[in-house]
Amino acid sequence: MKIANIKMTKWTKFLILLLASLLVATANAAIFYSLTMQPQVSVSTPVLKFSTAPDEPSGSTVNDAWCRLTAKSYPNATLTYEQAVYINNTDDSNAHSFMLKHISITPTNGTSAVGNWTSIKFLVYDSSGYVFSLNYTVSGTDWILEPSSGETSHYSVPQSAGWWIRLETLSPAAATTGNDCGIQIEVDVLE
């Protein structure tokens, strides 16, 4: 006897088709494969790195991959840390580029405490002179970034060369002492 000769109602045929489609869908859902990735991560020294400089603010911490500068700002006087921190290219064969990028600042815009500063500037120099900068100036109770995007362009440090950051701070005559400004800047390096 052939299956085609079996008499079935439309409902039975529908049920058989439904069960068959579920079986096919279940079988297809169970088909999978795996890709394998085997990364190897080595600890090494950055080719572009921070190092201590002659005018590093007292109490600062400088490591190869990060630094914390503890600068001061005086009311009605520009305070300059001529060589606050070095950025050295330790690669003796290739130039490497980096940029400065604003991440955060406190006090935040719109708070009266912002008025305790006039400007905080991070100026980058090489042996020939000024190269570029990331500057924070104040207008009322708001920080104004220059460049306005908060990111500088990439600049190339030649092989085995050292650049430095000159840090300049200025507060207005009416600034209240004891206020702190915290700035986080990324130094993005292209290896």
Q: What are the boundaries of each domain within the chain? A: 48-190
Q: Highest-confidence range of 6-10, 35-39, 74-78, by mean pLDDT?
A: 74-78
Q: Sorting pLDDT into bands at 50, 70 and 90, what band is 74?
A: very high
pLDDT of 138 > 90? The answer is yes
Tokens of 71: 């600068």
Look at residue 39 and tell me whether its pLDDT is greater than 70: yes
**Residue keyed to tokens 């940029």:** 99
Distance CA 164, CA 187 (A): 13
The whole-number pLDDT of residue 26 equals 60
Global confidence as pTM: 0.79
CB count in 10 Å sphere of residue 188: 13
- What number of other Cβ atoms are within 10 A of residue 105's Cβ? 19
- CA dist., res. 125 & res. 128, Å (int): 8
Q: Which of 52, 61, 41 is nearest to 85 (CA)?
A: 52
Residue 32 has pLDDT above 80, yes or no: no
Q: 116-140: buried (b, 16+ CB within 10 Å) or exposed (e) per residue?
A: bbbbbbbbbbeeeeeeebbebebee
